[in-house]
Structures are given as C-alpha cells and as structure tokens.
Amino acid sequence: MSASLQTNILLAGTLTACIANLKAKLDEIEHSIQIQNEGFANLIVGSSVTLDEVLKRAPGNRYIEATEAKNLGLIEGLI
C-alpha cells in the first residue's frame, strides 16, 4: 500500500548548500506523501474505512482479504 523510497543524498559544498539539498529532498518526500494520501482518500470513498485506518495499515504494507474488502465497501463484489 504505502510507497517506499531508496535514495542517496550527496552532501557537498558549503554548509548552507547542504541544508538546501536536505530541505529540497524533505519537501519532495512530504509532497509525495500528500499525493499518496489523496490516493488513499479516493480509494475509500463510499466505504466504511476511515483514512486513519488506511494510514495505520499503510506503513506495514498490510493487505486485506477480498471478502473483508467487500464487507468494508472497498469493492463491489467478487468474481
């Protein structure tokens, strides 16, 4: 469920430049989290699942069975 990231950050140059590079990466990560959470919010529209529940499950990449997804209103039916 939750996106993951693996990156290297090169800190070279003046101390001010190093801080700017770190802040830019942090901004990128925070913006990506906002986009991820908007996707989660769209996924649960019309279901009985709250965004808090999704956000609690997301870091562990926890999945649910199809029958539970149906009971929660995340899917219409099973084939």
Average pLDDT over residues 51-55: 90
Quick one: 54 exposed, middle or buried, by C-beta within 10 A (0-12, 13-18, 19+)? buried
Query: Rounded distance, CA 26 to CA 32, Å?
Result: 10
Instruction: Grade residue 26 by pLDDT with cuts at 50, 70 and 90.
Output: very high
Asked if residue 1 has pLDDT above 70, the reply is no
pLDDT at residue 51, rounded to an integer: 93
| Mean of all residue pLDDT scores within the chain | 89
Average pLDDT over residues 59-63: 76
Query: Rounded distance, CA 39 to CA 44, Å?
Result: 9
pTM, to two decimals: 0.73
Instruction: Grade residue 35 by pLDDT with cuts at 50, 70 and 90.
Output: very high
**Contact by Cβ (8 Å): 9, 22:** yes
**Contact by Cβ (8 Å): 56, 1:** no
pLDDT at residue 64, rounded to an integer: 82
